[in-house]
Chains A and B, each alone.
Chain A
Amino acid sequence: MWEASALTITVFLPLLGAALITLIPKAREELAKPVALVVSLVAFALSLAVLAGYYLGPAGGEGLAYQLRVDWIPIIDASYHVAIDGISLPLFVLSFLLTFLCAVYTFHHLEAPGRPKAFLSLMLLLQTGMAGTFVAFDLVLFFVFWELVLVPMYFMIGIWGGPRREYAAVKFFLYTLFGSVFMLVAFIALYFAGPGTFDIVALQEAGAAGEFGLTFQRLAFLGIFLGLAVKVPMWPFHTWLPDAHTEAPTVGSVLLAGILLKMGTYGFVRIALPILPEAAVEYAPIIGALAVIAILYGALCCLAQTDLKRLIAFSSVGHMGFVMLGIATLTPVGVNAAIFGMIAHGIITGMLFFVVGSIKERYHTRAIADIGGGVLQTMPRMGAVLTFVAIASLGLPPLPGFWGEIVALYAAFNPAPALVDAGFLTFFRVLMVLGAIGTVLTAGYFLNMLQRVTLGTAPARWREAELRDISAIEWGAWSPLLVMTVALGVVPVLVFGITDPAVSAVLTALGVS
């Protein structure tokens, strides 16, 4: 019973919570916070139970578990098919963890105009969309969850965001939508070219059996690529990201960077590669090249930023570049590195956005020049946390940023045999070198940022302002992430151990690695 319904209960519990919150009378609006906290905590606990059950239950840590397949629209064979495996598990759990921590954080601060009732119900609705994307095993269902995140995030940015919030919200929505409508068309094309179903498992089998012709694969891959690449975002589809991340409220930025971006990279691993393997081999060099451009371009943009939050936003472009480089190698090592990179980026950049949001809340500005350095003087603990997280993000061993990057680069040194046969060995090794240069630039801009923000003497007005250091609630929201940063860095097998069997299973079926 639990086996079949676990994912459904876990995914839709937040939606139920959102409905519950809307029933709270307006006069007692503050009540929304504890309700959201309890709902997200229970949902997080359920996701942990799913994780534990994956190893202790009948699945024994391999293959698809918690399967449930119910016909939805039988005429087009679209079904409510949910399941989970090692690829989606870490992302699934992370989404619940971050939402829970965001619920904690709203006790500390919620941007103007307040209204916790509306904000938290949107946040829980968003959670259902995010978690659902990672467990959907039907293309139509996947698309529904994929789009479900758009509306709540649009309102979160548009109502609670910074000065240019309305522009950023619309840009986010339209960019993502533009990519995804083409993805939907490609999904339908898969239905007609393949076995006449939207079931991802069946389509993966068809893809491995070579049922799709090469010309068809190229076109379908292009459509799916458009949808996913905008979400990741890959250069040159990234321009919505700096605006959306910068203008979004803290919680919005954390969830955008922490989870929403991963939906794109996850789509490559779950859908694009397994179903269209031959096209994947053809597109891999292009994806690799775009990934490296993103790494270098993101780093250079970061160097030029004067806005602290925008700098973190651009750093995401670079980090997701490493993730895409790992995927482009089409090797188990590379894809494992990519998933590790997603988790590491989710934890670290989520944490960075928390800290930057808190700094902005104290200083009432995001401009590095206005902060004027010396955060270590004005708020020593905040400064220390920022320094630690920035160093984790720039990839210093043995913190998790390091593992994601170095393993991805290593994978680029030895790309999949199919790519080597196609004569792309040198090409990928060049990409590796360029990516390595990117890591140096990444270190450069983060150290530069730390120097301008945390070090130096704080301007007199900030020293006299008596800024409050990290509050108890903030410690509560952040310490799990800080602990995980250390834990994943020291014991990376915590994630690699989960993902490796599933990744190997998916890639061996393709026969490209």
Chain B
Amino acid sequence: MDVDQVTQIDFFALAPELAVLGASLLVLLIELFLHGPRKRFVNPIAVLGVLVAFGFVVALSVDGTERAAFGEMFVVDSYALAFKGFFLAVALFVLLTSYRYFSEIRTYQGEYYFLMLSAFLGMMLMTSARDLVMLFIALELVSIPGFVMAGLRKFDLRSNEGAMKFFLIGVLSASVLLFGLSIVYGFTGTTSLAGVAASLEGAEATPLLLAATLFVITGFGFKVSAVPFHFWAPDTYEGAPIPVAAFLSVASKAAGFAGLLQVTFVAFEPLADVWAPVLGVIAILTMTLGNLTALTQTQMVRLLSYSSVAHAGYLLVPFAVVQPGATALNADAFSAVLIYLFAYGAMNIGAFAVVTAVARRHPGRRITDYAGLGSRSPGLAVALTLFLVSLGGIPPLVGFIAKLAVFFVAVEAGTTLGIVLAAAVAINTVISLVYYLRIARVMWMEEATDPEPVRPGLALGFTVGGLTVVTVALFVLAPLLWGAADRAVLVAGG
């Protein structure tokens, strides 16, 4: 690659990232000049930045040409754009969920929004990264703001503990990941994903190389909270501000999956025979352990955090059926992950938004606080019921489409592992409904201990209502979701 290529920058390709970067700096700066309750006005600035970035993503999709910057390290293709659109939508809803929560805590608002936007900047870079080094930088840009945001409730010991755990495990896994990447570089002599795939093609799978692959997968396994790297999640989610928990369980997890998709489906595809079964075992353990532990939870955020561990298990299923060279199957598996992530994002943020609304009146966040919500605030209760039933994968909601896509590839693989995985997902679906329905039961079938309605306010009400519509509409419009995922597939040889 010559110097021209490296120094010439296509600013249009970078526009969404630049918009988010600009907004994040603006937020930090402006907050200094606002005082008292007016500090909350940084939220709309952040929202505006996200909307502008979203506009650029739409413009880039309409434009349709594949673009690259920094010598192929940064690529804008349909995969990157689909994910960027998703991340920006998530960012929008997380920001709206944060508005009242943080204006009532009244601390560190500028810092919080700056950190949040930085993390989303990292996610957007991640989806465009086609290079191991770039991927690592993006991943750290997602993680480090996360450590700080998890500890934002300084006055709460649990928050401190959660953030500390998150930080230690995060740093450990990052170093494991980096170690793995360095070995891979040693073997292949390149950091480009496609280059790694090309030189691994037909290469002898030596133990050291396999170990390196597994190191890399472990690094991402922490990010997506797969068993056995999951135990930070419940403590961190519980201690973190609820919008941050929503962020960690959806955005940060999706970023981990984006990275994992790029590494496994592109770079390590020739070695799929080795890592796919490993991920299969991890998938089964993750969903089973997540669901079984969720059964015993009495605290809403902890329950949702174990539920999100279980969903990471379902999301790993398509990875486990990947076969070297089976382009059609791998493409379907890839699109199943995307479908599941997009659906999961809508319903899980929705659930966290309702929890945020209820937590304002019941800071204890216990499941018993939801007693009689059906008669106190029927709207919120209907929405939460829909989100939970959708998380359980029951039609006619988008969660069913997601489960269908996962079952679809598991059966398509036709291998013993595929059938075992399908059976595991089937059984886990039933287990998960036990605790989702338990919350529905508390809301609708138990007497309210506190007769006062819960009022979500405008921003949160919009989030809950909007995501309810999305959860139902994306079921009917499943072809759009499925088609978008199908176009965004990025597999070796595809």
Which of B131-139, B183-191, B223-231, B433-441 contacts the other chain?
A: B433-441
Cα–Cα distance between A429 and B394 once the two chains are bound (Å): 42
Which positions 383-441 of chain B face chain A at CB distance < 8 Å? Answer: 389, 394-396, 400, 404, 407-408, 410-412, 414, 422-423, 425-427, 429-430, 433-434, 437, 440-441
Chain A proximity of B453: nearest CB distance (Å) = 12
Chain A proximity of B130: nearest CB distance (Å) = 26
Q: Which chain B residues border A178 with CB–CB below 8 Å?
A: 427, 430
A45-83 CB contact bits vs B (8 Å, 1 = yes)?
000000000000000000000000001111110000000
By beta carbon, the residue of chain B nearest A170 is B437
Known: A140-B404, A151-B389. A185 touches B444 (CB 8 A): no
B434 touches A185 (CB 8 A): no
By beta carbon, the residue of chain B nearest A177 is B430
- Residue of B394, B404, B426, B441 near A151 (CB, 8 A) is B394
Which of B115-123, B309-317, B479-487 contacts the other chain?
A: B479-487
Cα–Cα distance between A144 and B394 once the two chains are bound (Å): 8
A185 touches B478 (CB 8 A): no
Which positions 165-222 of chain A face chain B at CB distance < 8 Å? Answer: 165-166, 169-170, 173-174, 177-178, 181-182, 184-185, 188-189, 191-192
B445 adjacent to chain A (CB < 8 Å): yes
Q: Which of B404, B429, B434 has the most CB of A within 10 A?
A: B404
Chain A proximity of B98: nearest CB distance (Å) = 30
Chain A proximity of B465: nearest CB distance (Å) = 14
B437 touches A185 (CB 8 A): no
- Residue of B400, B407, B433, B482 near A173 (CB, 8 A) is B433
Known: A74-B479, A173-B437, A185-B407. A147 touches B395 (CB 8 A): yes
- Residue of A76, A148, A174, A185 near B396 (CB, 8 A) is A148
- Residue of A75, A150, A182, A185 near B394 (CB, 8 A) is A150
A158 touches B444 (CB 8 A): yes
Known: A150-B394, A166-B441. A185 touches B426 (CB 8 A): yes
Q: Is the interface of B mostly helix, strand, loop or mixed?
A: helix
Cα–Cα distance between A140 and B408 once the two chains are bound (Å): 12
Cα–Cα distance between A71 and B482 once the two chains are bound (Å): 13
Cα–Cα distance between A270 and B434 once the two chains are bound (Å): 31
Cα–Cα distance between A154 and B423 once the two chains are bound (Å): 24
Chain A proximity of B428: nearest CB distance (Å) = 9
Cα–Cα distance between A144 and B395 once the two chains are bound (Å): 6
A76 touches B482 (CB 8 A): yes
Cα–Cα distance between A28 and B440 once the two chains are bound (Å): 26
The interface size bin for chain A is: 20 to 34
A155 adjacent to chain B (CB < 8 Å): yes
Q: Which of B389, B437, B478 has the most CB of A within 10 A?
A: B437
Cα–Cα distance between A140 and B400 once the two chains are bound (Å): 11
Chain B proximity of A315: nearest CB distance (Å) = 28
A413 adjacent to chain B (CB < 8 Å): no
Cα–Cα distance between A185 and B389 once the two chains are bound (Å): 19
B411 touches A189 (CB 8 A): yes
A73 touches B445 (CB 8 A): no
Cα–Cα distance between A232 and B400 once the two chains are bound (Å): 23
- Residue of B429, B430, B486 near A75 (CB, 8 A) is B486
Cα–Cα distance between A126 and B424 once the two chains are bound (Å): 29
Cα–Cα distance between A55 and B331 once the two chains are bound (Å): 48
Cα–Cα distance between A178 and B423 once the two chains are bound (Å): 11
A174 touches B412 (CB 8 A): no
Cα–Cα distance between A184 and B396 once the two chains are bound (Å): 15
A177 touches B482 (CB 8 A): no
Cα–Cα distance between A332 and B102 once the two chains are bound (Å): 69
A159 adjacent to chain B (CB < 8 Å): yes
Cα–Cα distance between A246 and B426 once the two chains are bound (Å): 28
A331-347 CB contact bits vs B (8 Å, 1 = yes)?
00000000000000000
Chain A proximity of B375: nearest CB distance (Å) = 9
By beta carbon, the residue of chain A nearest B385 is A151
A184 touches B407 (CB 8 A): yes
A185 touches B423 (CB 8 A): yes
Q: Which chain B residues border A71 with CB–CB below 8 Å?
A: 479
Q: Which chain A residues border B408 with CB–CB below 8 Å?
A: 76, 188, 191
Cα–Cα distance between A325 and B425 once the two chains are bound (Å): 33
A174 touches B434 (CB 8 A): yes
B444 touches A143 (CB 8 A): no
Cα–Cα distance between A148 and B472 once the two chains are bound (Å): 13
Q: Which chain B residues border A170 with CB–CB below 8 Å?
A: 434, 437, 441
Known: A73-B479, A148-B395. A166 touches B389 (CB 8 A): no
Q: Is the interface of A mostly helix, strand, loop or mixed?
A: helix
Q: Which chain A residues border B478 with CB–CB below 8 Å?
A: 72-73
A68-110 CB contact bits vs B (8 Å, 1 = yes)?
0001111110000000000000000000000000000000000
- Residue of A75, A147, A150, A188 near B482 (CB, 8 A) is A75
- Residue of B396, B414, B444, B479 near A155 (CB, 8 A) is B444
Q: Which of A169, A174, A188 has the most CB of B within 10 A?
A: A188
Q: Which chain A residues border B407 with CB–CB below 8 Å?
A: 184-185, 188
Chain B proximity of A232: nearest CB distance (Å) = 19
Chain A proximity of B99: nearest CB distance (Å) = 28
Q: Which chain A residues border B483 with CB–CB below 8 Å?
A: 75
Q: Which chain B residues border A74 with CB–CB below 8 Å?
A: 479
Chain B proximity of A173: nearest CB distance (Å) = 6
Cα–Cα distance between A140 and B394 once the two chains are bound (Å): 12
Q: Which of B425, B430, B486 has the most CB of A within 10 A?
A: B430
A181 touches B426 (CB 8 A): yes
A154 touches B404 (CB 8 A): no
B433 touches A177 (CB 8 A): yes
Cα–Cα distance between A182 and B389 once the two chains are bound (Å): 18
B441 touches A185 (CB 8 A): no
B422 touches A185 (CB 8 A): yes
Q: Which chain A residues border B394 with CB–CB below 8 Å?
A: 147, 150-151, 177
B411 touches A192 (CB 8 A): yes
A73 touches B411 (CB 8 A): no
Q: Which chain A residues border B410 with CB–CB below 8 Å?
A: 185
Known: A151-B389, A192-B411. A72 touches B434 (CB 8 A): no
- Residue of A72, A148, A188 near B411 (CB, 8 A) is A188
A158 touches B445 (CB 8 A): yes
By beta carbon, the residue of chain B nearest A219 is B419
Q: Which of B395, B410, B482 has the most CB of A within 10 A?
A: B395
A144 touches B433 (CB 8 A): no
B433 touches A75 (CB 8 A): no
Known: A173-B433, A178-B430, A185-B407. A144 touches B445 (CB 8 A): no
Q: Which chain A residues border B426 with CB–CB below 8 Å?
A: 181-182, 184-185
Q: Which chain B residues border A147 with CB–CB below 8 Å?
A: 394-395, 400
Chain A proximity of B482: nearest CB distance (Å) = 5
Cα–Cα distance between A173 and B441 once the two chains are bound (Å): 12
A129-152 CB contact bits vs B (8 Å, 1 = yes)?
000000000001001100110110
Cα–Cα distance between A274 and B434 once the two chains are bound (Å): 35
- Give residues in B with beta carbon < 8 Å to A: 389, 394-396, 400, 404, 407-408, 410-412, 414, 422-423, 425-427, 429-430, 433-434, 437, 440-441, 444-445, 478-479, 482-483, 486
Listed by A's residue number, 5 A-B pairs whose Cβ atoms lie within 8 Å are: A151-B394, A173-B433, A177-B429, A181-B426, A191-B408
Having A76-B408, A185-B407, A188-B407, one finds 14 other A-B pairs with CB under 8 Å, namely A75-B483, A75-B486, A147-B394, A151-B389, A151-B394, A158-B444, A159-B444, A170-B437, A177-B394, A181-B425, A182-B426, A185-B411, A185-B422, A188-B411
Q: Please name the 10 residue pairs, one residue from A and one from B, whose CB atoms are nearest each other, closest first.
A: A181-B426, A144-B395, A188-B411, A178-B430, A73-B479, A185-B422, A147-B395, A73-B478, A158-B445, A181-B429
